[in-house]
Amino acid sequence: MNTLTLKKVNPGKAMLCLLTLMLPAFVLKAQVKKHKYVVIGYVGGYKGLTDMSMVNPEKLTHINYAFVNVHNNRAWLTHEKTDTTNFRNLVLLKKKNPDLKILISIGGWTWSKNFSDAALTDTSRRAFAASAVNIIRKYKLDGVDIDWEYPGLQGDGNVVRPEDEQNYTLMFQALRAELDGLEKETGSKKLLTAAVGGFQRFLQHTEMAKVAQYLNYINLMTYDYFQDGQGIAVHHTNLFASNKYQTQNSADKAVSDYIAQGVPASKLVMGIAFYGRSVMVKDSAQNGIGMKTGEHIWVGGYTHLKDSLLNRNGFTYYRDSSAAAPYLFKASTKQFITFDDEWSVKNKCQYMVDHQMAGVMFWEYADDKKEYLLNAINERLK
């Protein structure tokens, strides 16, 4: 008769074997938890003192303070008294989120006029870089964001030179060198980012593959596409090309174009609009999409759109599924409104994840004080 002999098992060895078997699952879980997408919010201080208590730092990874001016080849606080107060109040938000990073954003649509001068020579670039880094040194901030709208293009009455293309790259080289020096002083990482045009003309006037080596993140301004509508009503922040008109721009095209130029997807940040654009159209066909336009109308941020106009006051809500873009149309007055909402934001977040991008950013926080869209971002990326 066969006898089954039971061997005494060492408890320590048994536990070791169990842990070894479970290790891959633990490692996978740790890797998933470790990966965190950036959520970058632009917070405006360009109008003066801003109530920073509206900002929820636990829903953001980065705040880009807008804007610092460019004056006499220097980064310049035009509203120094209110800017410095805003800086102090932003830094206080780190009590709730110690990992929060706060950057100054230099330029913007209005204050990009003098970038070409500041970037023109080695001397001017070094002076500009030193002045920018001195601001973040003084106020204990975390980095610099450049929003030059746009190198080699007129923008809002900019100084424009053919040399802007190369000087744009050299400006970031100078900034990175200056930030590296501050890192050695403080022992903490300092960030360099850029807000860039989400359209092909921007790439034609820059060397983004070279620029990317100096940047932590590249914030794609995949909005305000209405400006290139060529006299017809188009989506201003669509994810994909629409089949309702001949699309020139979309977030998808911008991402593809940047990657084709040699920019790593891992540095690209998807842009989201927290505000709407509106125009009167000449015809009610297609609920206004693709129709000839007339007067542009101010409609404000998403909180206002959702609370006051969404299926209210004669406006009807529609979705252009081909573009992953919502819109409102008021047939009685032929008013067309284009914007991002929770649905389009979740689509953009999913696209960002699928394409292994760095995260999302938005302009600007005050346009959605009830955080409808920020909550949608956090829900998808949590």
Q: What residues act catalytically? A: 149
310 phi and psi angles, rounded to 5 deg: -65, 105
Residue 242 near residue 325, CB atoms below 8 Å: yes
For residue 267, which amino acid is it?
A: K
Residue with tokens 């007129």: 154
3-state secondary structure of 284: coil
62: nearest Cα among 36, 35, 88 = 36
For 141-177, b where at least 16 C-beta lie within 10 A, e where not — what string?
bbbbbbbbbbbbbebeebebeeebeebbbbbbebbbe
Pairing between β-strand 277-281 and β-strand 335-338 as defined by DSSP bridges? antiparallel
Around 37, how many Cα atoms within 13 Å sit in the side-chain half-sphere?
Answer: 26
Q: In the block, which residue shows the tokens 């632009």?
A: 42
Residue whose C-alpha is closest to residue 227's, from 252, 205, 202: 202
Tokens representing 273 are 């609009």
